A = this chain, B = another copy of it.
């Protein structure tokens, strides 16, 4: 049993978190989901979902950290206390998964330096400007480099989560998980229908 430690903050994008949560939560014998924010308590998504969280200090190491994106990342890329705590959580994680502009937060910790990573295509210029030491991939549904998975915008997080399941539990399990939730999984990380035509 692995724990998916979801990192939430005000104005997170609902589906960035809830898409992967649906995938991992459907495999209840393999994964347990826990919800965290820096100070704990209620966190409100951009879509008004108010979610109860535990504080960062309660998070167990050696598990999986999931970082969503959304408009809430805009102030956080300049929040030294948040970034310092996020870096500590990410360093002690077994795997790190980011969705959308969640990779902006991870890039600001320095942990993506010299690694391949992707992000939301609408926000790509902003995200990549935050840290040019990252090897940003403009055309990818998701990217894996070492223990770090980064996905493109919002819905791409579901494809990445299924990709993670595929890599750790096999293709049969990943396909069955997608089928059970009636999701047409984009199985190829290099197939990015939303990449910029540049």
Contact = CB atoms under 8 A, between A and B. Distances in A.
Interface of A: 13-15, 18-19, 21-22, 24-26, 32-35, 42, 45-52, 120-122, 152-156, 179-184, 186, 193-194
Given A19-B15, A155-B181, A193-B184, A25 B46 contact: yes
Total identical chains: 2
B18 A33 contact: no
Determine which residue in A120, A152, A154 has the highest number of CB atoms from chain B within 10 A of its CB, and name it.
Answer: A154
A181 B69 CA distance: 12
A21 B182 CA distance: 18
A63 to B, nearest CB: 14
Contacts of A193: 182, 184
A48 B22 contact: no
Determine which residue in A13, A15, A33, A154 has the highest number of CB atoms from chain B within 10 A of its CB, and name it.
Answer: A15
